[in-house]
């Protein structure tokens, strides 16, 4: 058996992760439509290359924080499919004990410090975790994801202002998917280049289109290195597109089917698959896809069979300190 070049090994692994996220979410959408998942469900389909590419540039002990569109990041960082699917189903075996649901994945073991429902609200929290790393003399980096809808919010400016002032080891990633719910970028921001917001804070910035998972990894690695080696923050704007509605309840009337179709032609997931196929990995890809299907099916089964949380979790998850049991 010939050994594969490391770059092909990496590409195959990142393809596997993107496929895992996509198939996980497609099954989640199906379960949601069947009424098995309650609350909100915001799908990340189309944006997978960002969470997967960024996670590939992180160290296992780094921190990552994101919005309610959080399934992709959790899975990319290593949260098990079982724990993620069980969380969506509101089961006690979920990564947030079934109490958070889709918008509030949390997995300390894998450095996933949460999905947050309040737009921009997590940005100062991310600055806080970066401050903690610096204060403790650790060389951990925090990566904070947000949508472009967050950049007009006060929390965004407070977080960036402090990160720049205190030279915190953090990378802010703005996943600019061109719409905040149904509002297009042009009706929301006075500038088209979101990364320019970094200039006001004297912060480094980068900006590119998400076209290839390996490029995401490479570009963001530069910002991560700046944070780790020099304790300096960066704002990275990554242009992307979500193929599904804002959430499952969005009929998506604010954009045309042609626009969505056109953007699907630039989907990084089939692009990676096509490239790997052309390099002769057809059989390896088929085996990976099969393993992904099995893992997703196992996660669904596990979630459906798991118990719901009981009242014993009420105090333990509400109080801390002397009141906690």
Residues that bind ligand TPP (CB under 6 A): 67, 69, 117-119, 147-150, 177, 179-181, 246
Q: Minimum CB separation from ligand TPP for residue 76, in Å?
A: 16
Q: Is 170 left (phi over 0), alpha (psi -120 to 50) or beta?
A: beta
Closer to ligand TPP by CB, 101 or 149: give it.
149
Q: Minimum CB separation from ligand TPP for residue 44, in Å?
A: 8
Helix (H, G, I), strand (E, B) or coil at 263: helix
Distance, in Å, from the CA atom of 232 to the CA atom of 271, rounded to the nearest integer, reads 33
Q: Minimum CB separation from ligand TPP for residue 246, in Å?
A: 6
Closer to ligand TPP by CB, 122 or 205: give it.
122
Strand partners, 115: 66
Q: Minimum CB separation from ligand TPP for residue 105, in Å?
A: 15
Closer to ligand TPP by CB, 132 or 248: give it.
248
Closer to ligand TPP by CB, 88 or 300: give it.
88
Q: Minimum CB separation from ligand TPP for residue 70, in Å?
A: 10
Neighbours of 167 (CB within 10 A): 15
Distance, in Å, from the CA atom of 231 to the CA atom of 138, rounded to the nearest integer, reads 11
Angle subtended by helix axes 6-33 and 213-230, to nearest 10: 100
Q: What is the DSSP letter of 107?
A: B
Q: Minimum CB separation from ligand TPP for residue 179, in Å?
A: 6
CB 197 within 8 A of CB 188: no
Tokens 């917001």 correspond to what residue? 197
Question: Distances from the Cα of 136 to the Cαs of 89, 94, 131, 257, in angstroms?
Answer: 37, 31, 9, 51
CB 224 within 8 A of CB 233: no
Distance, in Å, from the CA atom of 323 to the CA atom of 256, rounded to the nearest integer, reads 54
Q: Minimum CB separation from ligand TPP for residue 124, in Å?
A: 13
Closer to ligand TPP by CB, 142 or 180: give it.
180
Closer to ligand TPP by CB, 150 or 162: give it.
150
Closer to ligand TPP by CB, 148 or 237: give it.
148
Distance, in Å, from the CA atom of 246 to the CA atom of 131, rounded to the nearest integer, reads 32
Closer to ligand TPP by CB, 14 or 119: give it.
119
Residue, CB closest to ligand TPP: 147
Q: Minimum CB separation from ligand TPP for residue 228, in Å?
A: 27
Query: Exposed e or buried b for every residue in 229-250, given b needs 16+ CB within 10 A?
Result: eebbbbbbbbbbbbbbbbbbee
Helices (H) and strands (E) in the chain, counts: 11, 8
């Amino acid at each position: 058996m010939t050994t594969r070049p490391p770059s092909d090994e990496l590409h195959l692994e990142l393809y596997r992760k993107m496929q895992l996220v996509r198939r996980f979410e497609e099954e989640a959408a199906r379960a949601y439509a069947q009424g098995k998942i309650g609350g909100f469900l915001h799908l990340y389909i189309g944006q997978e290359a960002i969470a997967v590419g960024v996670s590939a540039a992180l160290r296992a002990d780094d921190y990552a924080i994101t919005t309610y569109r959080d399934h992709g990041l959790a899975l990319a960082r290593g949260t098990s499919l079982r724990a993620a699917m069980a969380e969506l189903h509101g089961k006690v075996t979920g990564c947030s004990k079934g109490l958070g649901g889709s918008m509030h994945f949390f997995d300390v073991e894998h450095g996933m410090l949460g999905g947050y429902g309040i737009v921009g609200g997590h940005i100062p929290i991310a600055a806080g975790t970066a401050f903690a790393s610096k204060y403790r003399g650790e060389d951990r980096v925090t990566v904070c994801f947000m949508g472009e809808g967050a950049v007009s919010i006060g929390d965004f400016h407070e977080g960036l202002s402090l990160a720049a002032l205190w030279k915190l080891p953090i990378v802010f990633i703005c996943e600019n998917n061109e719409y905040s719910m149904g509002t297009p970028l042009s009706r929301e921001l006075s500038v088209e280049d979101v990364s320019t917001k970094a200039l006001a804070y004297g912060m480094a910035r980068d900006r590119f289109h998400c076209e290839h998972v390996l490029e995401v990894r490479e570009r963001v690695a530069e910002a991560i290195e700046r944070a780790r080696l020099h304790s300096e923050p960066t704002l990275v704007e990554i242009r992307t597109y979500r193929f599904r509605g804002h959430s499952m309840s969005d009929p998506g009337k604010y954009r045309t089917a042609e626009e969505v179709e056109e953007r699907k032609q630039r989907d990084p997931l089939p692009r990676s698959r096509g490239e790997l196929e052309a390099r002769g990995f057809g059989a390896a890809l088929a085996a990976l896809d099969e393993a992904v299907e099995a893992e997703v099916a196992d996660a669904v089964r596990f979630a459906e069979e798991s118990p719901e949380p009981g009242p014993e979790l009420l105090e333990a998850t509400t109080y801390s300190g002397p009141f906690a049991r």
